[in-house]
Amino acid sequence: MADVKAVRDRVVTRIRAAVTGINVMDFMVVNPVLPAALVAPPPGTFLTEVTGDGCEDLDLVVTVLVSNTMSQNAQNRLDEYLSEGASQNLANAIESGSTADWDYAIVGAARNYGSFVFGSGDQAQTFLGFELPVTVGLS
């Protein structure tokens, strides 16, 4: 079985090395320090044995949060994290570098651009962001 924490840590390390000014964590937090990238498995199935020889696919989601308000500056920041060729492109940060940790890392289509609510009741906070699904192949 895959070492999920080790893979999450490696995704975090890749983002930190390539993208400046973003707080990257390998766990979900109630009060993230913005801008933030939170790396965690998604709800539901996230670890799939692909072949009989023990190869596995591990699915993760990078939840990117930039602001607690909807503004043009916040949307521009999100665009920077998504745009191909931008120095702050998160997909390139995750997919580049050594493959010693895994066989492949594939970033899927960005999704859920909009509001994310963390916490509940009077403590609930809403943030502007999006999700990047990541599939890591492990042998």
Q: Which CATH number characterizes residue 30's domain? A: 3.30.2000.10
Sign of the torsion angle spanned by Cα atoms 90, 96, 98, 101: positive
- 48: which residues sit within 8 A by CB, 6+ positions away? 56, 57, 59
User: How many other C-beta atoms can be found within 10 angstroms of the C-beta atom of residue 19?
Assistant: 22
CA dihedral 101, 77, 118, 4 (to 10 degrees): 0
pLDDT at 123 over 80: yes
- Full-model pTM: 0.89
Percent of the chain with pLDDT over 70: 93
Per residue in 77-102, pLDDT (tens digit) is 999 999 988 889 999 999 876 667 78
Per residue in 19-28, pLDDT (tens digit) is 999 999 988 8
Which domain range does residue 39 map to? 4-138
- Residue 81 backbone class (left: φ over 0; alpha: ψ -120 to 50; beta: rest): alpha
Count structural domains, the chain.
1
What is residue 52's predicted lDDT score, i.e. its pLDDT? 63
